[in-house]
Amino acid sequence: MRDVTISKLILDSFYGKLRSCLELDVAVVGAGPSGLVASYELAKKGLKVAVFEERNVPGGGIWGGGMMFNEIVLEKEIEDFLRELGVRYSERDGHLIVDSVHFASALLYRATEKGVVVFNNVSVEDVAMRDGRVCGVVVNWGPTKRLGLHVDPITVKAECVVDGTGHPASVVTLLAKRGLLQMKTEFPMNAEEAEPFVVEHTGEVFPGLFVTGMAVCAVHGGPRMGPIFGGMVLSGVKVARMISERLKVKA
């Protein structure tokens, strides 16, 4: 029966993929712009990277643009990165404007082409720790969390973990709740200050745990910024460089 053949193909292929990702160089939590850029940059250096996204659709805040006007704006300094991705853009008032669906698709395509595995519908509900260091993520099906089901998760080992979960900074929050680190809260909208703030504060917040994108503002008390995405790209690039240096990967 052909339908059963199709089911077997899906199961075998998926479980092979999941099994091969149980031990990673880097686990990225959240498939928003910063997490996807970080994963793409890390995979370019030959690192084994998986992204865990609790929603059905990876891409985070990219798709919605600003108030569902599905265009995003980036700073001029991101031009080379857009060219590298092969993204079409226009330029006005010193900014670059990109169709958000085109940008999300390009980023996802380039990252997965470089070997990044994106698990959609998978939520990170905790981290694994050994000797005072984060050394993996604890994952469960996304709907489990939404529906409040009592289902135990499984563990994925990773040399480094990246919190790219955006405004909630949900991975860092897990440690803050246990008193393992101090966390601030996001400040009101201010794009001029938010962009450099995010990039400057991108980095390791606890041994083995790095933060990128809007999660940086939640952790360090920076302003929010809305649909301007240059800081997300630069933050993703920066966190990837820091982790590559940590793992001593040659450029």
CA atoms of 36 and 50, how far apart (whole Å)? 10
52 lies in the site for ligand 48F, by CB under 6 A: yes
- Separation in Å, CA 219 to CA 1, 52, 194: 53, 20, 13
Binding mask 164-193 for ligand 48F (x = CB under 6 A): xxx-x-x-----------------------
Which residue in the block uniquely carries the two structure tokens 């910063």? 34
54 lies in the site for ligand 48F, by CB under 6 A: yes
222 lies in the site for ligand 48F, by CB under 6 A: no
Contact call for residues 31 and 59 (beta carbons, < 8 A):
yes
Choose which of 49, 135, 205, 214 interacts with ligand 48F (CB under 6 A): 214
Output b/e per residue, 61-88; b: 16+ Cβ within 10 A: bbbebeeeebebbbbeebeebbeebebe
Contact call for residues 159 and 178 (beta carbons, < 8 A):
no
Choose which of 65, 136, 208, 213 interacts with ligand 48F (CB under 6 A): 213
Choose which of 21, 26, 35, 87 interacts with ligand 48F (CB under 6 A): 35
Query: Site for ligand 48F (CB under 6 A): how many residues?
Result: 30
Interaction site with ligand 48F (CB under 6 A): 29-35, 52-55, 60-61, 123-124, 164-166, 168, 170, 213-215, 224-229, 232
